[in-house]
């Protein structure tokens, strides 16, 4: 009977090791993969924030943005608008905007909001100052050169206060045009929304519900190794020494395997995560973030495996100490 119980206990010990390693991976993935902080450092290294002017330019070219209508700048290319936003938004402004996009994205994925938005208040602030006028010059200088008639209309408009249809004027006219350009930028800033919506949740069949279901299973995965450990205790533990030996060896093996996976598993997990993201990201994220699939993958793998390594070391240490104490007690009694 004792032999049979030991066999059953060994089976549960093996199941504990397998399910505990899986639970460590799933628990850490759930904890870190859905937080914006996981990606900020990785994205900073990969020029993510420098992509924001391209995002804003794309939104203007693809939509009916009132800003370009007010400025008289319809029909400009995305590259021209990108140059405008790069002049308007220095790097120290781009990072807060990018961090806001990341936080908004993960608030959306976590069902904390129903849209992904970008904060445009720094854009509006820049439009109201000297930087705004300089950025507008980038747009104006991309226009075709003014003809004699157009130059005359600009001069007439300046005197009469009528709306001016902009073109690229001669250099000597620019100082006279600057007050008008600044006025146009201030008027444009007044109608720019405080936040620009990039993605809105669908009214039905929201794909984010699948994420929440998966995350629930990730959290519940911790119950499996606990159940196996309790079953192991029922079949094998008859004394404190038995408890130290069975639990100690099981925890030490679990910790060692987790440590090895954490150290060596980055390439495998990167491939698996990248494959999953490539098929799933279009359902959840704005288009411009799809260009950063590799950055998402690298950040997720690092966020997943770094705590697994530390937890593996801790479990190995605890398990070795318990098993060592159990071995000492067994020899002391003999």
Q: Tell me the β-bridge partners of 119.
A: 195
In the chain, domain spans: 2-34+205-333, 49-109+121-192
pLDDT digits (tens, 9 = 90+) for 182-221: 777 777 777 777 887 877 877 777 777 888 888 889 889 9
Q: Output the pLDDT for position 69.
A: 46
Question: Alpha helices, DSSP H only, in the chain?
Answer: 2-32, 37-45, 52-62, 66-71, 78-88, 91-109, 121-127, 130-140, 148-160, 174-191, 208-220, 223-236, 240-264, 266-280, 293-333
pLDDT digits (tens, 9 = 90+) for 57-87: 776 666 545 454 445 455 567 777 788 888 8
Indicate the range of 102-111, 166-175, 241-250, 309-318 predicted with least confidence. 166-175
**Among residues 137, 140, 113, 135, which one has the least CA distance to residue 124?**
135
More confident residue, 136 or 326: 326
pLDDT digits (tens, 9 = 90+) for 237-285: 888 888 999 999 999 999 999 999 988 887 777 777 767 666 655 555 6
d(CA 84, CA 105): 25
User: Whole-prediction pTM value?
Assistant: 0.68
More confident residue, 167 or 30: 30
């Amino acid at each position: 009977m004792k032999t049979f119980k030991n066999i059953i206990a060994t089976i549960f010990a093996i199941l504990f090791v397998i399910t505990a390693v899986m639970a460590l991976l799933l628990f850490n993935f759930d904890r870190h993969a859905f937080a914006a902080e996981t990606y900020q450092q990785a994205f900073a290294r990969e020029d993510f924030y420098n992509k924001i002017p391209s995002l804003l330019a794309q939104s203007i070219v693809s939509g009916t943005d009132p800003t370009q209508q007010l400025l008289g700048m319809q029909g400009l290319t995305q590259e021209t608008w990108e140059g405008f936003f790069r002049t308007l938004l220095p790097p120290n402004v781009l990072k807060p905007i990018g961090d806001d996009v990341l936080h908004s994205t993960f608030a959306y994925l976590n069902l904390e909001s129903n849209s992904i938005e970008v904060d445009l208040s720094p854009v509006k602030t820049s439009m109201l100052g000297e930087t705004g006028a300089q950025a507008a010059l980038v747009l104006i200088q991309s226009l075709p050169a003014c003809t004699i008639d157009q130059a005359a209309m600009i001069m007439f408009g300046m005197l009469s206060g009528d709306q001016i249809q902009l073109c690229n004027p001669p250099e000597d006219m620019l100082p006279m045009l600057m007050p008008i350009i600044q006025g146009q930028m201030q008027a444009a800033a007044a109608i720019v929304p405080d936040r620009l919506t990039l993605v809105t949740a669908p009214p039905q069949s929201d794909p984010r519900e699948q994420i929440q279901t998966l995350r629930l299973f990730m959290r519940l995965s911790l119950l499996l190794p606990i159940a196996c450990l309790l079953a192991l205790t029922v079949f094998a533990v008859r004394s404190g020494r038995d408890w130290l030996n069975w639990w100690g060896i099981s925890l030490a093996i679990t910790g060692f395997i987790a440590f090895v996976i954490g150290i060596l598993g980055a390439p495998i997990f990167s491939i698996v995560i990248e494959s999953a993201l490539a098929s799933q990201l279009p359902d959840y994220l704005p288009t411009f973030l799809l260009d950063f699939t590799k950055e998402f993958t690298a950040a997720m793998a690092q966020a997943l495996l770094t705590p697994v390594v530390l937890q593996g070391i801790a479990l190995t240490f605890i398990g070795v100490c318990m098993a060592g104490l159990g071995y000492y007690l067994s020899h002391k009694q003999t």
